[in-house]
Structure 1
């Protein structure tokens, strides 16, 4: 398909690839889906809706993915298994709902949707190796339980404001395990103080050369992860500031935020050296980074004086300002301040959305314009709120229940948006990453939802969870093989090192996070209480828990001394969380009554890896912002033994 993107996770909204519709714009009646299946297909292939080669005792797919293979005539199906007919009916309902809503929003025939953007490297992949369109991913990761709502988003934080920590997977959730002394709630809750308030500092240099340099840094190091500004628009706004100076409007606020984030961002380096081993040229570069931090403060001072203008407006430009302010606070280890601005951005987006609804039905379909911006802002604001809600006891987002009809944002035509050819390549790769990251977040959040609603109290519950983990692993496998070559990475099966490029490094981190979270409930089960279950089930639980411990260490192996980016705060807490899990398992093995813990296989060199990773990030642990110092104190306490309550 020349001139059209074949996205790893998304495609043209409303397009049913491979099918033509009548010229009158009406879809023909859906054909009845055949309800036939091979009676000997294994449980996993049946749940994936894929053909099974029926090999016994292990089919080909289960053998390749190294998961347990079970046939209906060999073992009794678990009561929690999703009935295929109900699942197919749910998918068909969702398809019709999504398609009708897309037509209502655009007022256009589905067959007239324009192509998005070309990509030769991904379109060359076999068709079975990538996900065809929006609907496939939406269906694949959509919650299929009877109680799910048709429009229910998959990015879900806590269900109520008072249900603190119910979906937490961070440091405090592991500290609540029975193996640790119970101190007090929210031990690591940061007490942010806004030391980035308005100050009397010199104005920044607003000459073209300086602003163009900071714009380039922003596009390269910040925009690649969150494409929420149009590069052409921001370039024109920067030129306007150069020609006319700083104004009191949201446009100047947006330019100042872009420059501030560009100045504070750093180039990704796979392995960094200590300051004592830097060459004179490298020391000069390091000095340049320090100077850029001063420049960043000057531009932030300009932006924060105008941020009130963004709070008073409900435009997409105001949402951009508020969202970038949240990203700024994440760069500066102030997660509660960041959450406040992400929440303001979500509220402004929502008001903008509902007040523009009457005009949306008459709006021409514009992939490269406001629709793409609207969608990317929605996903960035919502995703940012939810990521913090999984670490801290925060209420749900206003975007939680709005029934937004898009499962993924529609990529723009980057060739039209790009400033030059190199910028076009950067943006194209950025959008592939952005879509792949959202797809992984869909699966990650579904896993967290499943774990939070499942109580492993009976053998039946445990077997059900083991089966769900197999399904999650198969979904992760599909996500992995859907990645385009420029974002793919070798399977992290053992001792790994940081990757040379940042975007594959980030996606590999998400891949490992999903695997580790799949098995975490079994670790908690083994280290909490004696298990009165059958020996064969106990062996399976211990094996799953040991897998989880292995992935904890692999997650630490894959980390690098980071460049400063807005995910660094999460990485520092990740180090403490995975370390606490490993320490909990080691501590439990010293208690003979915990029969599950006695069967755990601790990864070789796990404690040395914790110490090495702690040392690698040593320059950050003394930071008093964002609860980082408290986290380092907890880690030291746990490494010292963790038997006494913390003071």
Structure 2
């Protein structure tokens, strides 16, 4: 019998017993040979390690590390599956599946990453104007690092838990509530105390309601000024005088009171814990509002959109993000027929000056405000949630609207003009509102530019080099935004009792995290060739400093409950996880990183009763912080 090497097109040639070839051309009556494993020669098939497969080069499969991975200091990951018994057809199928898996992973890394700003993933030319190409010809130094970064944009905490350095073994499971994490208090709910029963509000003492109104306008409305304070106070007083009915006005009154119960000055708020009387009262008001909100879903007026939006704000305040997203989505849907949007659509494609020339009334101001608030809140949440049917990739334009909301005209005062303190409060709220929107638009634009750079440069080294050249311009834009803030909102002011300044500081840190993120990911992946340039190493270190700075900047608001508390918790947890992962690589760490991680665990421990996942995240940080060098 001929050896297994004697074959034609991969199939053995049968020979006669005497060794002479059989030249009989008559049709054979033999059964066709089976295509099982016994038919193919059993030759062990070596599969290249992941790095060599990504480079599309031959791998010598040495253990524990192949020659190439050993030379560049990369982690050599080889398949643990024994492929020796697989026939060539099966091996070819497995090879194609590996190619598909690699393609899907790279697509997910570069396109489906944490969609923080809802950027459009438009296709860009894959050429490099500077001559840094990804073809196999030419300089080989750039073609040998086609191993994708973990993510191009800051990742969600839930995705980071899948990183190899964060093993979930032997961790206690969180104590789950009797209802789903996104449930709200109901007559049989658990969030208002054991066996709490919520009914219609009965204690409507005018003095207490006035205090709730003051809380709302000083600590909630200042971040999203979508109401007119004077007319809203009149509306609430009228509802109190005439009695609570099933009207939209009563619904808005209940929501204002609910948010007034769980809001307060910018400081630690133990009196607003999940077991506090104030929290329970807020649940009573919120449930009363929800009994009336159904009728608003079939209306297209501004009051319905305002009620839906503040329902979402309340859900975020009590850490129910999925339900908050549903309310924000409904609020945004309710805004689609607003008259000002109709006029904006007619100017689609025109210049910015044409948009600015559109006459806007006081009603347009309120419509624009609720539209913008619902828009940015929905986009902010959709980037944090797993919403397979609402992917930003398929939701049309993901850019910010082409206009800023128009602030109220201070010269157009009504006969019953508001008190000076109220006017100052409204001015400060709108200054913050416009400043935050401008920073978010800057973040959005830089996010889009970074994604475009990645599409142009398939080589990771080329991408990091191109991004490092753009960083000074990005930093200059951030500095220009900071210097352009009005004195009332200057983040250089060391005052720590202003929630608006604290929020802007946190958003600015988010911007710096975004532009340094790819360099930090390069250090965590441990491929030394990407860190051969001093600029790359410096920017990676600067990124780690940003994560330490985030914990310091947000510390004054660690224990303050408001609309953005859950976002702050998640970003601080992300920074702590990045610092732990970076420390595990043995690289140079910024001073204070250890204390920053401890601050994050303290933050998670404080809010653990509000969301079950936080206790598990705290346990993960504590476990890996102890094992970090």
2:489 paired residue number: 487
For each residue in 1:199-228, what CA deviation from the matched residue of structure 2 results, as whole angstroms up to 9, or x when unmatched?
543524334323222111111000000111
Q: Secondary structure at the match of 2:563?
A: coil
Which position in structure 1 is the counterpart of 2:409?
413
**Contact (CA 8 Å) 1:350, 1:399: kept in 2 or not?**
no
* Corresponding position of 2:215: 217
The correspondence of residues 226-241 of structure 1 with structure 2, limited to 5 A, is 226-241=224-239
C-alpha distance in 1 between matches for 2:396 and 2:281: 37
Partner of 1:259: 257
Aligned to 1:172: 158
1-side partners of 2:345 and 2:591: how far apart?
A: 61
One of 562, 572, 575 as aligned partner of 1:565: 562
Give the match for residue 543 of structure 1: 538
Mind listing any 5+ residue stretches in structure 2 that lack a counterpart?
A: 1-115, 123-150, 188-196, 348-356
Correspondent of 1:317 among 295, 303, 307 = 303
Offset at 1:157? 5.3
Q: Which residue, 552, 555, 564 being the options, matches 2:550?
A: 555
> Which residue of the other structure, out of 562, 572, 582, is the alignment partner of 1:575?
572
1:423 aligns with 2:422: yes
Instruction: Compute the RMSD of aligned alpha carbons.
Output: 3.7
Please give the alpha-carbon distance, in whole angstroms, between the structure 2 residues aligned to 1:373 and 1:519: 37
- Once the two structures are TM-superposed, the CA of residue 428 in structure 1 deviates from its matched residue by 0.3
Decide whether the 8 Å contact of 2:522 with 2:530 is kept in 1: no
Higher RCO structure, 1 or 2 (CA under 8 Å, sep 6+):
1
Give the distance between the partners of 1:534 and 1:323, measured in 2 at CA.
46
2:383 to 384, 387, 390: 390
Give distance in 2, aligned partners of 1:409 and 1:503: 18
* Cα gap change, 1:234 to 1:399, in 2 (>3 Å): farther
Matches of 1:588 and 1:287 in 2, distance apart?
39
**Per-residue deviation at 1:464?**
1.0
Distance 1:478 1:293 in 2: 41
The aligned counterpart of 2:591 is 604
Contact 2:239-2:249 at 8 Å conserved across structures: no
**Which residue, out of 368, 388, 392, partners 1:375?**
368
2:512 aligned residue = 515
1:113-124 equivalences under 5 Å are none
Secondary structure, aligned partner of 2:335: helix
Alignment of 1:42-191 (within 5 A): 156=118, 169-177=155-163, 179-180=165-166
**Offset from partner CA, 1:273-302 (integer Å, 9 cap, x none):** 9x8xxxxxxxxx789994332331221121
> Residues 310 and 511 from structure 1, CA distance in 2 versus in 1: closer, same or farther, beyond 3 angstroms?
same
> Cα offset for 1:382?
1.2
> Where does 1:237-636 land on structure 2 (aligned, <5 Å)?
237-269=235-267, 272=268, 290-352=276-338, 367=360, 369-394=362-387, 395-396=390-391, 401=397, 406-414=402-410, 416=413, 419-452=418-451, 454=454, 457-490=459-492, 499-532=496-529, 535=532, 537=533, 539-558=534-553, 559-560=555-556, 561-589=558-586, 598=587, 601-616=588-603, 618-624=605-611, 627-636=613-622
Render the CA deviation track for 1:321-377: whole Å, top value 9, x for unaligned. 11100000001110011011111111111244599669999xx97645221112111
Q: Is the 8 A contact 1:158 1:167 kept in 2?
A: no
Change (3 A) 1:288 1:628: closer
Q: For 2:385, what is the secondary structure of its paired residue?
A: coil
1:414 Cα deviation after fit: 4.7
Aligned to 1:206: 204
SS of aligned partner of 1:563? coil
Counterpart residue number, 1:105: none
Preserved CA contact (<8 Å) 2:200 2:288 = no
- Length-normalised TM-score, structure 2: 0.64
- Counterparts of 2:344 and 2:477, CA distance in 1: 38
Deviation at 1:305, TM superposition (A): 0.5
Query: What do the CA deviations read for 1:105-128 (whole angstroms, capped 9, x no partner)?
Result: xxxxxxxxxxxxxxxxxxxxxxxx
Deviation at residue 405 of structure 1 after TM alignment? 5.9
CA distance in 1, matches of 2:293, 2:309: 11
In structure 1, what is the Cα distance between the partners aligned to 2:337 and 2:163?
41
CA gap 1:359/1:400 in 2 versus in 1, 3 angstroms? closer
Give 1:235 deviation, angstroms: 1.5
**CA displacement, residues 424-466 of structure 1 (integer Å, 9 cap, x when unaligned):** 1011011111111011111222333344552673432211111
Cα pair distance change 1:215/1:157, threshold 3 Å: farther
| Partner Cα distance (2:332, 2:273) in 1 | 37
Paired position in structure 1 for 2:147: none
SS of the counterpart of 2:528? coil
- Shift, 1:623, TM fit: 3.0
Residue in 2 aligned with 1:194? 183
> How many Å separate the matches in 2 of 1:464 and 1:400?
29
From the superposition, tell whether residues 404 and 286 of structure 1 become closer, same or farther in structure 2 (CA, over 3 Å).
Answer: closer
Question: 2 CA distance for matches of 1:525 and 1:403?
Answer: 28
User: Are the counterparts in 2 of residues 168 and 391 from structure 1 also a CA contact under 8 Å?
Assistant: no
Residue 358 to residue 460, structure 1, CA distance change in 2 (3 Å): closer
Q: 1:297 to 1:508 in 2, by over 3 A?
A: same
CA distance in 2, matches of 1:158, 1:385: 16
1:519·1:548 contact (CA, 8 Å) conserved in 2? yes
Partner Cα distance (1:629, 1:288) in 2: 15
Structure-2 separation of matches of 1:258 and 1:371 = 22
Contact 1:157 1:390 in 2 (8 A): no
Measure, in 2, the Cα distance between the counterparts of 1:465 and 1:247: 59
CA contact (8 A) 2:522 2:531 kept: no
Q: Is the 8 A contact 1:168 1:389 kept in 2?
A: no
> What TM-score, normalized by structure 1, do the two folds share?
0.63
CA contact (8 A) 1:556 1:575 kept: yes
Give 1 or 2 for the bigger CA radius of gyration: 2
SS at match of 1:377: helix
Q: Secondary structure at the match of 1:532?
A: helix
In structure 1, the residue corresponding to 2:300 is in which secondary structure?
coil
Take 2:168 and 2:463, find their aligned partners in 1: how far apart are those partners? 26
More divergent stretch after superposition (297-306 vs 544-553): 297-306
Equivalences, count: 452
Measured in 1, the distance between the counterparts of 2:548 and 2:209 equals 42
